[in-house]
Chains A and B, each alone.
Chain A
Amino acid sequence: MAIITKKRLVLLFFLCFALLLSCGKKKDAALYDDPGKPAYGDMIITGSIGEPSNLIPILASDSSSHEIASYIYNGLVKYDKDLNIVGDLAESWLISGDNLSITFKLRKGVKWHDGRPFTAKDVMFTYKVTIDPKTPTPYSGDFKLVKKAQILDDHTFRVTYDRPFAPALISWSSAILPRHLLEGQDITSSPLKRKPVGTGPFVFTEWVPGDRVILTANPEYFESRPYIGRYMMKIIPDTATMFLELKNNSIDMMGLTPLQYVKQTNYPAFQREFNRYKYLAFAYTYLGYNLKHKFFQDKRVRQAFARAINKKEIIDGILLGQGIEATGPFKPDMWAYNDNVKKFEYNPEKALALLKEAGFQRGPDGQMRKDGIPFEFTVLVNQGNTVRIQSAELIQRRFSEIGVTMKIRVLEWATLVNDFIDKRNFDAVLLGWTIPNDPDLFDIWHSSKQGPKELNFTSYENKEIDELLVKARHTMDKAGRKKYLDRIQEILAEDQPYTFLFVPYATVAVHRRFKGIDPGPAGIMYNFIKWYVPENQMRYRINAAVSR
């Protein structure tokens, strides 16, 4: 008897196990080559390494919160594929003759996700709550320059500035919040930070803490109902796991590293399931010099460094070709970019000549010296960013060829910023900037921005640049602004306060059943509501769209 029960137990155990196994999902055999016809339905699953923190965008500073918020809310204006400003909640706008005020004509018939109509009062409320000193938002800077905001009628809103302000229009792309749900409350304790209500293409459905956020298509979205019925962001804190989930087809979209893009996804089974897209990222990596350092004050030294660094080798070796050489603070597919600037080709001889001109002498040990002081400095890099650390190593080797000793020090991000950059306690840094969509360079290059926590931490001072920055900032006319920006880029290229290293490509894998993706300078997400899955290729049977 005892033996039988034991046997039964074992059997039961195996049965349970078999049951567990049998729940595994079946593989889609469908071919994804057929572009099919647009249809409503299916779900897209994306992965995020961080959990969103707050879905009221003015209170959040992390990228996953802003990503979710971008599907839920609208601004008055937005960027299109080619980074032109187009209307979003605003149908049109009029800039006054003196360039001081903008009058927005708002769309009529737009409804909040709870059914209430959207009006100019919501815009006014968003403006007021953003500049309210009680709101702990980091994004009040641009709105503070507004002198007067007026509601002309329910669908007309006017803002007036003290002087013309070029980034004014695009500053109104920030998410408009629902007045009827937030007015008179403490915004930091509003339930909307976990259950947002917006006007956007997707409606908030569910947030399982630490696990996932689910959005459902808004059938009454004013532009047009999104084809994809549901959006799910899974929180997967480990990038290796996320990549496995992608290979396992459990997530549909993921940004790839150069190594993943070039090597690890380059096999037929993956390419049968996924399309890979690439576009220039809004970011550049640079070697920045502390211009208070006595050697770096000399422009010729910086130019010599630009000649000594082989940018191509960094791109080929470390980014595996997934980037282009940077010549200035913009990327080539932006309207503000000026290609006609002085370029410093890799040329060690010329670098040596420039250093000699600057008074350096090469000793018998190969070390560069000036007045007996050897040319040695330390470059700071932030921990965890392998691309930057490896770039520094390649540069280190190139510098040693011209007799300059560069040490590399890797520091944790907060320490690097607070103890070294803020205290101006560094020789050089190898870091990156994101390139703003609106080409305003004031905060990084203007000589007045050298205070603590301000961004001109390399202490760059150039009177002509200062003037041009101010002019560019206060010119509303695009062509006029471009003239100033072109000149700024020429001066920066000549002056080399940074050595601009590279602009990387953003590389993304998206499952092949999603059609209608069209990469442009703005990336791929700008036409997300137009993405679709043909009826026969749908994977998740989701009866799309919420009903009210």
Chain B
Amino acid sequence: MLQYLAKRLFFMIPMIFGITLVSFAVIHLVPGEPGMLEAEMNPKITKEARERIRAFYGLDKPLHVQYWTWLKRIVRFDFGTSFATDRRPVIDKIKERLPITIVINLLSMGLIFIFGIPIGVYCARYKDSIVDKLLTSFVFAGYAAPTFWVALLTMIFFGVYLEILPVSGIKSYDFQDMGILGKVADIARHLVLPVAISAVGSLAGISRYMKSSLLEVLRQEYITTAYAKGLPEKMVIRKHALRNALLPVITILGLSVPGLIGGSVIFESIFSIPGMGQLFYFSVMARDYPTIMGILVIGAFLTLIGNLIADVSYAVADPRIRIG
């Protein structure tokens, strides 16, 4: 087991470098340069000023030199300074965006599991019943409908028409004057729509997973045995079937770790949530190389870690994998 772990960890190192190299190359191949996009075609900006700004960012050096400089910094966990005109450390920018994205993703992941697993179990148990079909249609409709469209519809309904929930943002205009309870309620009100909508889109995945995996288990002979020895159905499903059927869910859980920090661009833009998705999008639009690379590296690292955790916990949970 330990040897396995060490091997996995060792192979992560070249993988990380590979990822950074490819992302660095791809980003620099995109036309346009930082600090310049808005300055493009502006008569007030002279050619000398342009050259000066390029030199300031070190963009006049060859690409491999730029990569090397970046790499030397990154191994010391220094993400550098943003190329956006605010010139702030990348790590600060990520730090102030991270909490809200993690909160929303955790909440919606919680919702997905709370609703997705029971839906899956129910659909497996009462396969082909009317309710199963209704639930399946509902989760698939949620999956198929474009997020931005559902978001706008709910915003119009709850925000503009009923006026019971705020349309966008995470804080009201008078947030700083509220008491602690008021602040919590205010943020909660703002989070209802974004969390609900991000959860609805992913319900389909987890509930289908749950359903098919449970159906598989229910066909096993030991389930028949359990029934045969006279256990009530509740017990059979809860004690014998569900436990085994939950195994694949671990994998999904592991794979969702990187998703925790990567917010969705569309959805964060629509709800004006200052999260990671927005930061990444604006950085790409502004060709802010250090910020893009910072987010990519963290994302890549978390993906690899998530995979590792999934594999390891899988091995822990399932003796067949551990021994075999």
Contact = CB atoms under 8 A, between A and B. Distances in A.
Contacts of A51: 274, 282
A188 B278 contact: no
B103 to A, nearest CB: 14
B138 to A, nearest CB: 21
Given A238-B269, A247-B160, A208 B32 contact: no
Interface in A186-201: 188-189, 193-194
Interface string A194-223: 100000000000101111100000000000
Nearest to A56: B85
A418 interface: yes
Contacts of A141: 44-46, 49
Contacts of A1: none
Nearest to B185: A23
A43 B96 CA distance: 27
B268 to A, nearest CB: 8
Contacts of B85: 53-54, 59-62, 65
Interface stretch (A104-112, A132-140, A309-317): A132-140
A444 interface: yes
A4 interface: no
What's the interface size class on A, roughly?
A: 35 or more
A53 B156 contact: no
Given A61-B35, A453-B50, A241 B155 contact: yes
Interface string A2-46: 000000000000000001110111010000000000000001010
B256 to A, nearest CB: 24
B185 A20 contact: yes
Interface string B185-199: 110110010000000
B269 A237 contact: yes
Nearest to B174: A540
B31 A210 contact: no
B2 interface: no
A61 B39 contact: yes
A245 interface: yes
A58 to B, nearest CB: 10
Interface in A235-252: 235-238, 240-241, 244-245, 247-248, 250
Contact of B46 (A63, A140, A237, A412): A140
Contact of B164 (A21, A63, A193): A21
A302 to B, nearest CB: 22
B169 A136 contact: no
Interface string A382-418: 0000000000000000000000000000001111011
B185 A241 contact: no
A454 interface: yes
A194 B96 CA distance: 14
Interface in B183-214: 185-186, 188-189, 192
Given A59-B85, A62-B85, A244-B152, A414 B159 contact: no
A209 B166 CA distance: 20
Contacts of B86: 53-54, 193-194
A238 B160 contact: no
B324 interface: no
B294 to A, nearest CB: 16
B269 A209 contact: no
Contact of B173 (A244, A417, A540): A540
A50 B39 CA distance: 15
A414 B167 contact: no
Interface string B257-290: 0000000000011111011001100100001000
B169 to A, nearest CB: 7
A30 to B, nearest CB: 17
A21 B162 CA distance: 10
Nearest to B265: A237
Contacts of B42: 61, 138
A53 B49 CA distance: 19
Contact of B49 (A45, A54, A137, A235): A137
Contact of A241 (B41, B49, B167, B173): B167
B43 A138 contact: no
B173 A232 contact: yes
Contacts of A454: 47
A366 interface: no
Contacts of B165: 20-21, 24
Nearest to B287: A414
Nearest to A22: B164
Contacts of B44: 138-139, 141-142, 436
Interface in B83-129: 84-87, 93, 96-97
A419 interface: yes
Interface string B17-29: 0000000000000
Interface string A226-264: 000000101111101100110110100000000000000
Contacts of A540: 173-174
B56 interface: yes
A241 B38 contact: no
A27 B165 CA distance: 14
B52 interface: yes
Given A136-B52, A250-B166, A20 B278 contact: no
B274 A210 contact: yes
Interface string B129-157: 00000000000000000000000100110
A244 B87 contact: no
A50 B272 CA distance: 11
A138 B48 CA distance: 9
B75 interface: no
A408 B275 CA distance: 37
A139 B45 contact: yes
Given A141-B45, A210-B274, A244 B167 contact: yes
A199 to B, nearest CB: 22
A235 B152 contact: no
A13 B114 CA distance: 15
Among A63, A211, A247, A452, residue most surrounded by chain B Cβ atoms (within 10 Å): A211
19 contacts: A20-B192, A23-B185, A43-B173, A53-B84, A53-B86, A62-B85, A136-B35, A138-B44, A138-B53, A140-B48, A141-B46, A236-B272, A237-B268, A237-B278, A244-B167, A244-B168, A417-B32, A417-B40, A453-B47
For the complex of A and B, list the 6 residue pairs with the smallest distance between their C-beta atoms, beginning with the closest: A210-B274, A414-B32, A138-B45, A418-B31, A141-B46, A443-B43
Interface of B: 30-32, 35, 37-50, 52-53, 56, 84-87, 93, 96-97, 152, 155-156, 159-160, 163-171, 173-174, 176, 185-186, 188-189, 192, 268-272, 274-275, 278-279, 282, 287
Given A51-B282, A61-B45, A244-B159, 8 more contacts: A20-B188, A25-B163, A54-B87, A59-B87, A65-B85, A141-B45, A209-B97, A238-B270
